[in-house]
Amino acid sequence: MSIPVTSLPSGERIPVFGLGTWMMGEIEKKRSDEVAALKLGLDLGATLIDTAEMYGDGEAEEIVGEAIAGRREGLFLVSKVLPEHASRKDTVTACERSLKRMRTDRIDLYLLHWRGSTPLEHTLDAFIQLQREGKIRYWGVSNFDTDDMEELLALPGGDACATNQVLYNLKRRRIEYDLVPFCRSHRIPVMAYSPIEQGRLLGAGALKEIAERHSASTAQVALAWLLGQPGTIVIPKATHPDHVRDNFGALELKLTKDDLLVLDRAFPPPDRKYALEML
């Protein structure tokens, strides 16, 4: 299946749909199913995988390494450095550990997982060094609110930030007030994490109503709504093969104006600024 693309600030096109990996690598007996789920996602046409050194304490990156073995070309790997590793020196060594676990020589997009106490300039220096060494292609951030983004973009080289990965789904629309417009105005894609609120969104009445109209699943409606937001990338995580397949169906679901009105009524957009929420 061909997946629509959006542009990074550099102009490079990346897919608007990828595979999440949080909670993978935490339970040994689920490991082979998790590798199989990622492989199935790749077989179905996904090329973007989101992971982090934090997930399963490195095990999720190992699982990614196993799933992509022999098929690294053409993939777009996203991983993240923990804030406690975000110093100039530790960012570089954390990245090298991630590369080893994923058995690759480069990460396509390397994110600061959330903001900690390390000055942003230090992490930025490390990202630039890693880029120079060819170990990462792009860098970005995660869980950054508008004021964090403003501070980052004001730093020398800060305007190369390629993504802000944040909690975004129908239940979590507060960022539409200022963060989403800010990112859009700087052509920085928003990567929507927990796009189905880890499953908690799926029983909502409005989603059921629209899913019925389209003979779709509620997960597909939730994902299709996000895919309709310009410059937004979704990264649902699924281990069950039926869920993996189901999520791809969202790429073919076109919501109507009336569907969008129903969703706006059930999940109203914000009318003022709220602090960024995180999971």
Ligand X SMILES: NC(=O)c1ccc[n+]([C@@H]2O[C@H](COP(=O)([O-])OP(=O)(O)OC[C@H]3O[C@@H](n4cnc5c(N)ncnc54)[C@H](OP(=O)(O)O)[C@@H]3O)[C@@H](O)[C@H]2O)c1
Considering only residues 10-49, where is the footprint of ligand X by CB under 6 A? 20-22
**Considering beta carbons, is residue 161 or 238 the nearer one to ligand X?**
238
Go through 15-48 and write b for each residue having 16 or more CB atoms within 10 A of its CB, e for each that does not. Answer: bbbbbbbbebbeeeeebeebbebbbbbbeeebbb
Q: Which residues are 169's β-sheet partners?
A: 172
- Residue 132: CB atoms within 10 A of its CB come to 9
Tell me the number of residues near ligand X by CB under 6 A: 28
- Three-class SS state of 195: coil
Q: Which of 246, 255, 259, 267 binds ligand X (CB under 6 A)?
A: 246
Q: Which of 50, 59, 61, 148 binds ligand X (CB under 6 A)?
A: 50
Report, in Å, the least distance between residue 143 CB and ligand X.
5
Kindly compute the dihedral angle of the four CA atoms of residues 140, 142, 147, 150, in this order, to the nearest 10 degrees: 10
**Considering beta carbons, is residue 52 or 261 the nearer one to ligand X?**
52
Residue span binding ligand X (CB under 6 A) among the ranges 4-12, 91-99, 195-203, 268-276: 195-203
**Residue 219 interacts with ligand X (CB under 6 A)?**
yes
Q: Which of 35, 161, 196, 211 binds ligand X (CB under 6 A)?
A: 196
Report, in Å, the least distance between residue 80 CB and ligand X.
6
- Residue 92: CB atoms within 10 A of its CB come to 18
| Spatial distance between the Cα atoms of 152 and 86, rounded to a whole number of angstroms | 14
**Considering beta carbons, is residue 81 or 132 the nearer one to ligand X?**
81
- Dihedrals φ, ψ of 231, to 5°? 65, 25
**Residue 198 interacts with ligand X (CB under 6 A)?**
yes
**Considering beta carbons, is residue 25 or 236 the nearer one to ligand X?**
236
Which among 11, 16, 14, 75 has a CA at the least distance from the CA of 43? 75
Q: Which of 123, 146, 164, 247 binds ligand X (CB under 6 A)?
A: 247
Report, in Å, the least distance between residue 156 CB and ligand X.
25
**Considering beta carbons, is residue 27 or 261 the nearer one to ligand X?**
27
Q: Which of 240, 256, 261, 269 binds ligand X (CB under 6 A)?
A: 240
Query: To 10 degrees, what angle do helices 120-132 and 88-102 make?
Result: 50
Q: 80 near 110, Cβ under 8 Å? A: yes
| Spatial distance between the Cα atoms of 66 and 12, rounded to a whole number of angstroms | 26
Question: What token pair was written down for 160?
Answer: 């190369």
What is the maximum span of the chain, computed from C-alpha positions, in angstroms?
A: 54
Instruction: State the residue for tokens 């880890």.
Output: 198
**x/- string (CB under 6 A) for ligand X, residues 127-166?**
---------------xx---------------------x-
**Residue 273 interacts with ligand X (CB under 6 A)?**
no
**Residue 104 interacts with ligand X (CB under 6 A)?**
no
The half-sphere exposure of 191 on its side-chain side, counting CA atoms within 13 A, is 30
Residue span binding ligand X (CB under 6 A) among the ranges 87-95, 155-163, 231-239, 260-268: 231-239
Provide the binding-site residues for ligand X, judged by CB under 6 A. Answer: 20-22, 50, 113, 142-143, 165, 193-199, 202, 217, 219, 235-240, 243, 246-247, 279
